[in-house]
Structure 1
Amino acid sequence: MVDGDVTSESNAESARSIETAENAIAATESYEADGGWVLFDGENPLAWIESAVTVRLDDAA
């Protein structure tokens, strides 16, 4: 069922979203700790991710 109140992104908005995701992936750094990996924003090291499963960043975008 299509929701009439929901509009799709324009091409420009879509391109900005892709560029933002690519920039976020490029800025992501990591290190191994206690048998797992810590992912964090290289520009803001306090912004980190904890996960119980592994997901490729390319697949998450």
Structure 2
Amino acid sequence: MPDPGTSADGEEDSVATEPTVAEAIRSTESYEAGDGVVFYDAENPLAWMQADNAVDLEDAA
């Protein structure tokens, strides 16, 4: 019976892991725009979000 972390050819499978909440919040930056605040991932500036109401980042992450 093969090991669950090993593929059929015996190579280990790579599993992408999500960052912990604390890491995600630490890498979040923001700036004020004309009609609100923009939050974005400092490690991936193209990853941003928009909301019509305020959201506590710890609750959303």
* TM-score bracket for this pair, using the shorter chain length: 0.5 to 0.7
Q: Could you list the structure 1 runs, at least 4 aligned residues long, displaced by more than 6 angstroms after superposition.
A: none
Question: What is the CA RMSD across the aligned residues, in angstroms?
Answer: 1.9
Distance in 2, Cα, partners of 1:44 & 1:36: 20
Over alpha carbons, which structure has the higher Rg?
A: 2
| TM-score, structure 1 as length reference | 0.63
CA contact (8 A) 2:21 2:58 kept: no
Percent identity (aligned): 52
Q: In structure 1, the residue corresponding to 2:30 is in which secondary structure?
A: strand
Gaps of 5+ in 1: 1-16
Q: In structure 2, the residue corresponding to 1:52 is in which secondary structure?
A: coil
